[in-house]
Structure 1
Amino acid sequence: MKKGFVICIAKALICITCHAQTPDAKADKYLEILLAETGEVFYYNATNYLLVQKVIEKYHRMPYDAWLRQVQFPAAGMKSTFFANSDQVINNKAPSYSYYYRDPLTGARSERNHLRQIHEVFPVMMHADAGAFSTARDLSSWISALKSGRLLNKSQSIASLWKPVRLNNGRTEGFGDAFTGYALGWPTMQRSAYPAVTAIGGGRCAVMVYPKDDLSIILLTNLSGCAPQEMADVIAGYYLGR
């Protein structure tokens, strides 16, 4: 990968209980239904990012993007991070590709045998969830700022940020496989040796943090669906000696 390339990143957020819109055959309208009682199951949903963005905007009395540019990015020393859509031509911004195709009518995904360029539009109202473009250098600065306390006022806040949410039965749930839990926007890998938290972006980028081992792995690609979090954990193994 060419040094300095700006790669698209996005981060997921947990929703322990989730609402969906389902068509009502009799009334021919959408009714809001609860998929599960509070705290019963893990179900990924991006709505909470919208709510967090609204809270930040109300508290700071400015748009979310402006708050990032004026407050968080300078505090972290980030100079090459911005929001954009895939059709915008910006110096050093890498396009994204995928072998997967999503049907615009049904939402069903299928794998093809050829690459296609992804065309994505990230609404401003959902920028807390997706649409940020960044570099490995900027993300490294952000992780350092987060761990050193430049972004959080209280020392215990980072522990709360990375603590997986427990369901009513006392267990944690996540995306499956090695990801056994979900914290405040961070999938967690709870294991006796080398536990980790990660930020996964669009199936193409991953930031893996190993808090007990003082190690972070940043892996940026522009191939959506390549599971970079799995590759990043393998890379970490070379440094951790496992």
Structure 2
Amino acid sequence: MTNQLGRWRDDLPPFTRTGAGMNASAQEIASWIIALQAGKLLAKPDSLKRLWTAILNNGDRNEWAMGWPIVRITPHRIVGGIGGGRAAFFIYPDDDLAVVVLTNLVGSDPQRFIDKIASFYVPSIGIAAAQN
């Protein structure tokens, strides 16, 4: 692993752009997360809980839930999205908190420091991060 940051221009084929070539601002992602958590985007009230639950038919836990990575189950459950080592958002559903970090620096890996940002709002998240 390198500690050097650098620019990277993606030349993605059209068939991957819906999953790998999305462009959005932090405000747009934050607005989407707020609408999602407020129940404005899904028709059934239990849909969000089901999207964020990673239990297989045999009862085993999985690290992916309906396309959402389950970053941590306890304490301070995290679901989120991570993109290309330079963008990430973590939703802490039980803490009513979400953090969005977007960069254009390959290798910045914001998922490594989002818990530190979140701990400014919920201090016990920093304790949970240190234990994992």
TM-score, normalised by the number of residues in structure 1: 0.47
2:78 to 193, 196, 204: 196
The amino acid that maps onto 1:172 is R
Cα distance, 1:114–1:220 mapped onto 2, change above 3 Å: closer
Which residue of 2 is the match for residue 177 of structure 1?
none
Contact 2:6–2:105 (8 Å) recurs in 1:
no
The amino acid that maps onto 1:216 is A
What whole-Å deviation, never above 9, does each CA across 1:196-222 have from its counterpart, x for those lacking one? 111111111111101111101111111
What whole-Å deviation, never above 9, does each CA across 1:188-242 have from its counterpart, x for those lacking one? 1111x21111111111111110111110111111112222112111211221122
Cα distance, 1:141–1:114 mapped onto 2, change above 3 Å: closer
Which residue of 1 is the match for residue 61 of structure 2?
172
Which residue of 2 is the match for residue 150 of structure 1?
40
Which residue of 2 is the match for residue 138 of structure 1?
28
Secondary structure, aligned partner of 2:35: helix
Q: Do residues 234 (structure 1) and 113 (structure 2) align? A: no
Aligned length: 123
| Structure with greater helix percent | 2
Q: Do residues 220 (structure 1) and 109 (structure 2) align? A: no
- 1:186 Cα deviation after fit: 1.3
Contact 1:152–1:158 (8 Å) recurs in 2:
yes
Contact 1:198–1:229 (8 Å) recurs in 2:
no
TM-score, normalised by the number of residues in structure 2: 0.81
Q: How well do the aligned residues superpose, as a CA RMSD in angstroms?
A: 2.0
Cα distance, 1:138–1:238 mapped onto 2, change above 3 Å: same
2:91 to 206, 209, 214: 209
Greater gyration radius: 1
- 1:172 Cα deviation after fit: 2.6
Cα distance, 1:223–1:116 mapped onto 2, change above 3 Å: closer
CA distance in structure 1 between the partners assigned to 2:6 and 2:99 by the alignment: 28
